[in-house]
Amino acid sequence: VSYFALIPAAGVGARMGAAGPKQYLPLAGKPMLRHTLQAFLDCAAIAHVYVVVSAADGYIDDVVADCGKRVTVLRCGGATRMESIRNGLRALDAHGEDRILVHDAARPGLTPALIDKLIGEAGANPAGGLLALRVVDTVKSTRTGRVETTPRDGLWLAQTPQMFPYELLLRALEQAPDPEAITDDASAVEMLGLSPQLVEGHPRNLKVTLPADVGIATLYLTHEHL
Ligand code: CTP
Ligand code: MG
């Protein structure tokens, strides 16, 4: 069994509202995606890294220029995150039980230690596993039209990487009903009746989504031990 990283990087970053896609914004002197790639390159357990970008992407060649032979660019991005990942899975070279670690390009604070922790704790689980954070805030719901409080006990925020056997993940994404509704890979696997394992992540692995996240990500990238 080999471990492969699959990094979806074909989004446009609408919520960031920058001039170009957010995964190429400079953070601490390097494009965001270059930081993300480095975490996997520094992790000996990862056999190969695949990056999915859109066919028209004009930035990626420069970003991977110094990454060496462990990185392959797949120009098969789709209209949604789920489609980008599904297209990438079809294009890459893995077999049934190989583990695929899907990780957002927009989470540059990932570390090799977090990758090793995920593999160590959930690598043998046939249903896979993912990094996640315990909810620390009080959670309010307006779903019913009234304001209600949902006990935070037992609530988690999903991060990536999310790791699954290749065949299982491909099947889950091919059977998922609505690509727009699938905001992470684990939910597609859960729909098959399986229960991926949660492994406690770290706040430094935040997803850079809004302009305010850029400063936080930069702080973590420039302070390794935060
Ligand atoms: N992604 C992708 N293909 C898409 C949409 C998203 O590969 N069609 C990737 C993004 O590049 C990102 C990750 O999925 O690394 C998480 O998505 P998100 O944070 O939502 O990024 P964007 O879709 O680019 O941002 P926004 O939703 O604000 O437009
Ligand atoms: Mg998006």
Distances in Å between the Cα of 213 and the Cα atoms of 111, 112, 208, 220 are: 18, 22, 5, 11
**Rounded to the nearest whole angstrom, what is the distance from the C-alpha of residue 10 to the centroid of ligand 2?**
9
Q: Which domain holds residue 98?
A: 3-222
User: Does residue 211 have its Cβ closer than 6 Å to ligand 1?
Assistant: no
The DSSP output letter for 35 is H
**Rounded to the nearest whole angstrom, what is the distance from the C-alpha of residue 85 to the centroid of ligand 1?**
11
Apex CA 34: angle with CA 61 and CA 189, to 5°? 100
Amino acid at 137: D
Looking at residue 179, its pLDDT comes to 77
CA atoms of 9 and 22, how far apart (whole Å): 9
First to last CA, the chain: 33
CATH number of 165's domain? 3.90.550.10
How many domains, in total, are found in the chain? 1
- Top mutation candidate among 32, 35, 81, 184 for ligand 1, by most atoms within 8 Å of CB: 81
Low-confidence ranges of the chain (pLDDT < 50): none
Whether ipTM > 0.90 holds is yes
